[in-house]
Amino acid sequence: MTELEIKTLDKGNMFDVLSNFSSQCEDALKIAEAVDLSGYDFTGIDNIVLNGLGGSAIGGDLVRGYLQYSLPVPMFINRNYSMPGFASDKTLSIISSYSGDTEETNAAFIDSLNKNCKIICITSGGKVESLAKENNLPVFKLPKGFQPRCAVGYSFFIVLKIIQKLKLAEINEKEISETIRIINDLSTVYSSQNEMNTALKIAESLKGKLPVIYSGIDVMDVVNYRWRGQICENAETLAFGNIYPEMNHNELVGWRINKDVMKNIVVIYLRDKDDNERIKLRMDITKEIYKRYSEKILEISGNSEYKLARIFEMIYLGDWISFYLAILNNVDPSEIEPIHYLKKKLSEM
């Protein structure tokens, strides 16, 4: 793969966005720090609902997973038009829409207002910003020019800092700085088209194959979801997957009949050193079953001592893999024509 091949296909310049991802994370922290929430009433919160879709929701998923054992109130990611039944004036409703014009999120915004929720908005503009101004609500304003799925640094770190600002959870600043340092170091590796580039190697092994991605449930479930979404959206390649231990109770039996399909499957294990010991054992045992049918099984894990850094090691690797797979598939990783078609048709009805 040459630099010219990348530039020819990468019309949205995703290569530069990925290369500069550590700078995006740093910028997100600056944006979060600049917004003063002291003039608003955020007392008495007993649950958090983050409203968003796609790239605007994944940051919330990651925060929920990262803080699931330390956050004293439940956090729910809402990908729907309406707020859940438990939403009330004790709910922190975070409206996360990069464009500000996401149909489902805007509807949930109106519902949040009707239920008297405590509301914070994260957006680059659009209807979300307008509605926030009308109702005197705080806005964390994002820079324009990003694909929403490429703005996960903003959608994660701003939500994390909101939770910290409201004293809903303690955040380890050392983990944040180490995460950004590791991303910066990995950028040099993944942006170079040579034999040291793990992302490129894995992408080459996935070309023409069907990735099936498995992981444990403790935060790697969100990384798993991100990998599948990025491979689908960037590389125009279907990717499937499931989570342990749930898949042991149903999907495991499906590895028996469709052998013509299975020969094109590459199984990817996303592991973490903090996976439950029984989950690790389940993954080890069932790997022997997959070996009977799948030509290749890849095992991938982060290396940092810090949980947050390992999460973003895996997110960052998956994003680069999806980018290189797009180039190998001879497609522009930024182009999402089927989604544009769907939105156009919906707007006509």
Sheet of strand 265-271, all strands in order from the earlier edge strand to the far edge: 240-243, 210-215, 265-271, 296-301
Question: Strand locations in the chain, DSSP E?
Answer: 47-51, 75-78, 91-97, 118-123, 139-141, 210-215, 240-243, 265-271, 296-301
Is 124:155 a contact under the CB 8 Å cutoff?
no
CA 161 to chain centre: 17
Contacts of residue 79, Cβ cutoff 8 Å, sequence gap at least 6 = 52, 53, 57, 104
Is 207 in the active site?
no
State the Cα–Cα distance between residues 29 and 248, nearest whole angstrom.
Answer: 40
State the Cα–Cα distance between residues 162 and 143, nearest whole angstrom.
Answer: 18
Is 233 in the active site?
yes
HEC secondary structure over 180-219: HHHHHHHHHHHCCCCCCCHHHHHHHHHCCCEEEEEECCCC
Is 348 in the active site?
no
Of the residues 249, 288, 344, 345, which is catalytic?
A: 249
Q: Are strands 139-141 and 296-301 parallel, antiparallel or unpaired?
A: unpaired
Residue written as token pair 């078609």: 341
Of the residues 233, 236, 307, 313, which is catalytic?
A: 233
| Residues with catalytic function | 233, 249, 343
